[in-house]
Chain A
Amino acid sequence: MAGATAHKVSFLDRFKMALYLHKKNSTDSLLSILKQPTNSWLTIMVLAIALALPGIFYIMTNNAKALSSNWETTMAISLYLQETTSQQQAQDLVGQLLAQDKFQSVSLTSKEQALEEFKKYSGIGDSLEMLTENPLPMVINVVPDEAKVALSELQSLVESLEKNPIVDSSSLDAEWINRYQEILKISEKIGSFISLLLAIGVLLIVGNTIRLAILNRREEIQVIKLVGATDAFIRRPFLYTGLWYGLMAGVIAALMISILSNLVASSTGRLAELYQSQYQLLGLSLSQTFALIGIGALLGLFGSWISVRKHLKEIQPT
Chain B
Amino acid sequence: MIEFHQVFKRYEGGHEALKGVSFALKHGEMAFLTGHSGAGKSTLLKLIALMERPTRGQVILDGQNISQAKDRQIPFHRRKIGMIFQDHRLLYDRSVYDNVALPLVIAGVADRDIPKRVRAALDKVGLLTKEKQLPIQLSGGEQQRVGIARAVVNKPPLLLADEPTGNLDPELSAEIMSLFEQFNQVGVSVLIASHDLGLIARLKHPVITLKDGRTIRNDLIEEVHA
Contact = CB atoms under 8 A, between A and B. Distances in A.
Interface string B61-80: 00000000000100111111
B42 to A, nearest CB: 10
Interface string B137-170: 0000000000000100011111000000000000
Given A7-B113, A14-B108, 15 more contacts: A3-B155, A3-B188, A5-B156, A9-B110, A18-B108, A20-B111, A21-B105, A223-B90, A225-B75, A227-B83, A228-B78, A228-B107, A229-B106, A230-B106, A231-B72
Interface residues of A, number: 30
B87 to A, nearest CB: 10
A96 B80 CA distance: 95
Contacts of B154: 5, 7
Contacts of B102: 223-224, 227
A227 B149 CA distance: 12
A3 B187 contact: yes
Contact of B186 (A3, A226, A318): A3
A194 B166 CA distance: 60
Interface string B84-108: 0000011100000000001101111
5 contacts: A1-B28, A7-B113, A7-B154, A17-B110, A222-B89
A31 to B, nearest CB: 14
Contacts of A231: 72, 75
B156 A3 contact: yes
A2 B152 CA distance: 13
A6 interface: yes
Contacts of A135: none
B51 A316 contact: yes
Interface of B: 27-28, 49, 51, 72, 75-80, 83, 89-91, 102-103, 105-111, 113, 150, 154-158, 183, 186-189
Contacts of A1: 27-28, 157, 187
Nearest to A316: B51
Interface in A127-176: none
A4 B157 contact: yes
A228 B76 contact: yes
A58 interface: no
A248 B103 CA distance: 33
A28 to B, nearest CB: 12
A9 B75 contact: no
Contacts of A2: 186-188
A5 B106 contact: no
Enumerate the 8 nearest inter-chain pairs by beta-carbon distance, A residue then B residue, closest first: A2-B187, A3-B188, A228-B79, A228-B78, A17-B108, A3-B187, A230-B75, A13-B110
A220 interface: yes
A21 B108 CA distance: 9
Contacts of B186: 2-3
A2 B188 CA distance: 7
